[in-house]
């Protein structure tokens, strides 16, 4: 079936490094993608989104890249900080439907 | 501005008991939804509502009921709890419909024994 997934369940980086979290999707009709961050004991928080007519979008210290040819989405975090430690989810939307969430990648940042 | 508020934060039920998970938002969002989060499964949509008086089923609706009598409130009811309903439940809302960025509450952790 169609689903949103993540390549790796965990990612460990050193403080100050750049982090790249990947997400593969299989629904070619999806037109909108979102990255969420979930800290322990809290609900997911919106980080950044991108529409299918874009390849790249930048926020504060974060960049989302979309490669529709290989159905791949990535979240890049620059100069990763301990406060970035969390579970990161990608979500996709096919027009007119609800968001479908991936299973999440746990990012651990060590000092 | 409180955003999305969920109560209780924790709940333990025995099999067969009923309970209502409360969700309230103060952002005047038309769209509200309930998700459950299980290890290794991500977030799965239970029920959603596009406005007061309108509800619909999501991906995993069995065993749950919802109603939407006001814009602010969207309670989730478990009529006869089962161990398979042990999970963390999140309520979320948005201003732009079910495909728009969601604002999440902090969840209710439910254990059914």
Q: Which of B82, B81, B83, B91 is nearest to B7 (CA)?
A: B91
pLDDT at B104: 96
pLDDT at A2: 36
pLDDT digits (tens, 9 = 90+) for A65-91: 999 999 999 999 999 999 999 999 999
Q: Cβ distance A24 to A75 under 8 Å?
A: no
By CA distance, what is A5's nearest residue in B?
B42
Residue B45 phi, psi dihedral angles, 5° rounding: -75, 130
pLDDT at A1: 31
CA distance readout (Å), A57 to A60, A99, B103: 10, 19, 21
Confidence label for B98 from pLDDT (cuts 50, 70 and 90): low
Q: Choose between B89 and A30: higher pLDDT.
A: B89
pLDDT at A4: 57
CA distance readout (Å), B54 to A5, B50, B58, B70, B73: 31, 6, 13, 10, 12
* B102/A46 Cβ within 8 A: yes
Q: How many CB atoms lie within 10 A of CB A33?
A: 23
List all residues 6 or more positions away from A97 whose beta carbon is below 8 Å from its beta carbon.
B98, B99
pLDDT at A77: 98
pLDDT digits (tens, 9 = 90+) for B10-66: 999 999 999 999 999 999 999 999 999 998 778 999 999 999 999 999 999 999 999
Q: How many CB atoms lie within 10 A of CB A61?
A: 13
What is the signed CA dihedral for A46, A52, A58, A63, rounded to 10 degrees? 80
Confidence label for B101 from pLDDT (cuts 50, 70 and 90): confident
Pairing of strands A105-110, A10-14: parallel
pLDDT digits (tens, 9 = 90+) for B66-87: 999 999 999 999 999 999 999 9
Tokens of A111: 């000092």
pLDDT at A3: 45
The shortest CB-CB distance from A44 to any of B40, B48, B104 is to B104
For chain A, residues with pLDDT lower than 50 are 1-3
Q: Which of B35, B76, B32, B36 is nearest to B54 (CA)?
A: B32
Show residues of chain A in contact with B35, CB under 8 Å. Answer: 101
* A45/B105 Cβ within 8 A: no
């Amino acid at each position: 079936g169609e689903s949103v997934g993540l390549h790796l369940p965990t990612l460990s980086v050193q403080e100050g490094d750049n982090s790249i979290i990947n997400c593969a999707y299989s629904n070619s009709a999806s037109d909108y993608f979102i990255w969420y961050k979930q800290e322990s004991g809290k609900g997911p928080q919106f980080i950044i989104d991108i529409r299918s007519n874009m390849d790249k979008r930048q926020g504060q210290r974060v960049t989302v890249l979309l490669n529709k040819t290989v159905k791949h989405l990535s979240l890049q975090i620059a100069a990763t900080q301990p406060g970035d430690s969390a579970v990161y989810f990608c979500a996709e939307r096919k027009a007119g439907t609800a968001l479908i969430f991936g299973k999440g990648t746990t990012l651990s940042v060590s000092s | 501005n409180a955003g999305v508020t969920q109560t209780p934060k924790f709940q333990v039920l025995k099999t067969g008991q009923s309970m209502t998970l409360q969700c309230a938002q103060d952002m005047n969002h038309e769209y509200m939804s309930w998700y459950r989060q299980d290890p290794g499964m991500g977030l799965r949509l239970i029920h959603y509502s596009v406005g007061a008086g309108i509800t619909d089923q999501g991906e995993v609706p069995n065993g749950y009921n919802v109603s939407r009598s006001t814009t602010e409130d969207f309670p989730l009811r478990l009529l006869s709890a089962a161990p398979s309903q042990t999970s963390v439940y999140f309520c979320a809302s948005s201003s732009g419909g079910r495909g728009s960025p969601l604002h999440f509450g902090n969840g209710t952790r439910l254990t059914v024994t």
